[in-house]
Structure 1
């Protein structure tokens, strides 16, 4: 199935909130998922895998514990919390590259790197074992295959785009991943009450015709 990017963004936002993240990170996740899909990557599948990991239950353990050295934690880092921190610390890349330790779903860090590139007005390069990506904030160029988990990631303010991905206006997520997002999204819907059912469709329990 093909979906408009607006629909992807809305579903991703509700799904992330339904998985336990606060609305602020849910909004960031939605924008990030949309950005990945616009680059031709399956952002829905990336987000679905991340939500299934259940990091929201103890998010403070899955964010960088020390911002003065390599960003890492005792457990895999969540790319949403880590990405939000990257956006806040974008200026650090002006003086030195940033090293990030064990990171889950590293593809999800790419949209945050793109935001950093826009903030700095320069290309940003992301490198891990067997993979490299460059973004100027709007476009993306990748070499290699991003793993489910990156043992170490390096981000630096440098690089250039020679063959960026063509941008897309619609997304075609894996059906299984889309189903996962909808499952989490449904957790944000208020359960029906007798009053809502009565006011919902048609005349309900009364007929004044």
Structure 2
């Protein structure tokens, strides 16, 4: 099925929140998912894969320790959403030097944050991992190779050149299983029906005078 980017963003936000992230980071995840989908990647598969991997893991274990030029997460596996947010807060540092991220899950989800950083520093940003790379100037994306489920390392550095940009899309066709996963997680954010809400729903309009 085909979905609008608005639908992709809304579902991504609720799914990320359903997986235990705070709303603020869920909003960042939603924007990142929309950006990837607009750049012709199966963003829903990337997000669903990430949320399945880290579901139930405390965010503190997944977040990077932003010290020096090599960042690690205390729990071993690093979340690209937490890493992207931390990098964005330190965009000025990337004007002159790069950052190496260890054991980064779903590095494709870091690309939208790299685009944001490129806009902030006024120059392209390059992501490199074993077997692939991505360059963005804040608008376009040039992707070489494929992004793995888990990268042993990802280097984030200033500079780079766009040679062959990915197509820009206005709608997305996520893999069915990924869409099911995101909606299952999103369902966790829905408040269970109370007796009062049920009466206001199915019994709306009824009164003692009927």
Distance 1:66 1:111 in 2: 19
Instruction: Determine the structure 1 residue equivalent to 2:26.
Output: 26
Residue aligning to 1:84:
85
> Residue 46 of structure 1 aligns with which residue?
46
Match of 2:61 in 1: 61
Map 1:13-162; keep pairs closer than 5 Å.
13-54=13-54, 57-74=57-74, 75-162=76-163
Question: What number of residue pairs does the alignment pair up?
Answer: 209
Q: Distance in 1 between matches of 2:165 and 2:153?
A: 24
Shift of 1:62: 1.4
- The answer to whether the 8 Å contact 1:71/1:101 transfers is yes
TM-score (norm 1): 0.95
CA deviation string 1:99-146 (max 9, x = no partner)? 111101111111111110111111111111110111011110111111
> What is the Cα deviation at residue 201 of structure 1?
4.0
Q: For residues 65 and 55 of structure 1, what CA distance do their matches in structure 2 show? A: 20
Q: Secondary structure at the match of 1:147?
A: coil
Alignment gaps of 5+ in structure 2: none
C-alpha change, 1:14 and 1:56, in structure 2 (3 Å) is: same
| Pairwise CA RMSD | 1.5
Asked if the contact 2:17–2:186 (Cα under 8 Å) also holds between the matched residues in 1, the reply is: yes
The change in CA–CA distance for 1:198 and 1:159 in structure 2 (over 3 A counts) is same
